[in-house]
Structure 1
Amino acid sequence: MSLLRQGTHYVLIGLLQLLLDWLVFVGATALGMPVPAGNITGRVAGALLGFWLNGRITFARDGARLGWHRFGRFAVVWSVMTVLSTWLVATVAHSLGLQWAWLAKPLVEGGLAAVTFFLWRHVVYR
């Protein structure tokens, strides 16, 4: 698989993930859920979509690259990134307010996506 092909699919799938994650986060926190819980809820929704699509499309070689073994590695990487994401988004919400956290979330997730591409490629879906 070419890095360019994988990168292109990763970006497109990532945009879908980000949209779902952000919509769930904004909806949950607008309804009164605390920012950390809302962030985790949004990331879970995006992660489930992303694990499935990236395993079936982005990092698939001769077929889907899914399964419990890969999901375990995915969960470890995702958990670390979720702690970082939640800390960053909660810090923005605490310092600047909820609406700024809504705006900051796509930037936070976009920055983390650049790092996680290489972790997904070399650790999770190898």
Structure 2
Amino acid sequence: MTRRTLIVVDDQPDFLKIARSRLTRDETLEVIAEATSGEAALDLVPQLQPTPDGVLLDVEMPGLDGFETARRLRALAPELRIILTSASDTSHYGVAAGRIGAAFLPKRSLSAEAVLHLLD
């Protein structure tokens, strides 16, 4: 099986730990980096070679929110798959994510299986 690589971006350190724990249960998914802000993610992505398969990106962050970060990441790395996530399970996030070519996954649904499906 092909190993998939992922960056997790969230302003909550506790969620970063939870996400790493849940996502790395599957040996085909590797969290290769974490960032606590959109700005940090934008600095990080160009440094990672090869470009990761995807980024799991919180919608609700101070500074650059997830949507603006996603737009800028798309310009930096068009091949990067973007999965937006939020603790607020609102349908408009899914619609808005689709408009910018991203997927949406509520945090309560976070699993390696769900992320791998969205990376394919």
TM-score bin (small chain): under 0.3
Higher-strand-fraction structure: 2
Higher-helix-fraction structure: 1
Instruction: With the length of structure 1 as denominator, give the TM-score of the two structures.
Output: 0.27
Larger RCO of the pair (alpha carbons < 8 Å, separation 6+): 1
